[in-house]
Each structure stands twice: as C-alpha cells, then as structure tokens.
Amino acid sequence: MAKYFALIPAAGTGSRTGDPTPKQYQPINGRPMLWHALNPFILHPRIERIFVVLSPADAWFAQMRWDEFEPKLEVLRCGGESRARSVLNGLQAMAGTLARDDQVLVHDAARPCLTRHAIDQLITQVADHQAGGLLAEPLADTLKRADEGGHVLRTEPRERLWRAQTPQMFRYDILVRALSGGTLEGVTDEASAVERLGLQPLLVKSGATNLKVTYGEDLRLAEFILNSHPGP
C-alpha cells in the first residue's frame, strides 16, 4: 500500500508582502503562516510525515515553537534558489524514507487555509491516477490580455481554464523524474514539470478559500477565512 507524505517548500523570502519578515513566518491569528499551512497535514490520519524545506540560512524557524508538530515533522535545510529547486532538493533528501510508489503532496507554505476535506478529496480522486493531480479552481472572471502599456489587447476565452492550487499530489518516482529530467526554468508548479513527461494530471475542484498569500492585504483575508470555518 502506498503511503502519503507532505512536502512544504518554505525557503523563499516573499518580498511582495512589503514586510522584512519572510512571508511564511508572518503572523495570522497569533501564529506564523507556516504553522497554519502545516497544521492540516499534522492532523490528517493518512499523512505519515511532513517534510518542510528551509533555506540553509533560515534563522526564523528555530525561534518559534513547533512542539505539537514534532512527531510527524522533519526539517530539511536544503532549500534552493527557486521553488522547483527546493522541491527537488527536498525529494532527494527524502529518498531513504519513501518508496517509489509513495505519494507526495506538495503544498505552498503561503496557503494557510487548506482544509482536511480538500486533502481528502485530493487523495480520494487522485490515488489511482497514474499522472497524479492537483487542487484547482475553475476560472469565473473575464480575462483580459494587456499590451505593454497596460491597455486591453483582447479578451481571452475562459472556458476550461483553471487556477492551479496546492497540494499537488504525485508518485514519488514520477515527481523526481519530472523535476530532475531537464532544466527547471519555467517550472512554476509540480504539475507543469509532470506535464513535460507527456502526462496529464487530474484537476480536482477546489474553492477560492484555499488562497495563496501574495500581498499584504491577503493576510487579512486569510485571517478572515480561518476565523470563518470551524477548523482543518
């Protein structure tokens, strides 16, 4: 039976929030954002272990309390210059722990509002899918393509377009092969790397509450969402 592991790359600086504190450590409801990103996996019974990938120079993590996570949490200080490199470095560091057909759920450290239900949906729908899959949200807004001056160039059709989210779940061997088989340039998520193998990951419908915190105002929205639902 395949086992399930979570991998959270958290080696970035998140400068677009306008705060000198790395984004993953900025507080939401009195706890660092990374705490909220980890918590649903810590509580989920199907997740065997959670690996968090930090920058080797990270001085923030050790200053915070993670006691309740310790039985399932392992820190890997092998973060790279990009998200894709951090994920690949993490996968390589996990090599002695995972079997080739174990499933890896890669999740953004900046998505603090993930629910247990979303993890359940991903595991249930993707477990037997050879190409893996990801949470995603169908696009509902009208899309405009702009010219260099910021004027509307044309309206783009939105049919069958989805906004990729995380977690993204793939077999360990497939994900390692996808990320180590060529350049990582242009790889913005794990699914895009797997697509280069000629595979078609499955889209699992999610919602807007699984937002990615990018700008300062997103922190307030994430806090509102976390206060609005009963828990992971």
Delimit the domains of the chain by residue range: 4-228
Class of domain 4-228: alpha beta
Mean pLDDT score of the chain, rounded to an integer? Answer: 94
Q: How far apart are CA 176 and CA 80, in angstroms?
A: 15
Q: Model-level pTM?
A: 0.94
Encoded tokens for 9: 């790359």
Q: Is the dihedral of CA 94, 97, 101, 106 positive or negative?
A: negative
Q: How many CB atoms lie within 10 A of CB 161?
A: 13
Higher pLDDT, 173 or 185: 173
Q: How far is CA 84 from CA 8, 60, 75, 89, 97, in A?
A: 11, 22, 17, 9, 20
Residues 48-105 pLDDT 10s: 999 999 999 999 999 999 999 988 999 999 999 999 999 999 999 999 999 999 999 9
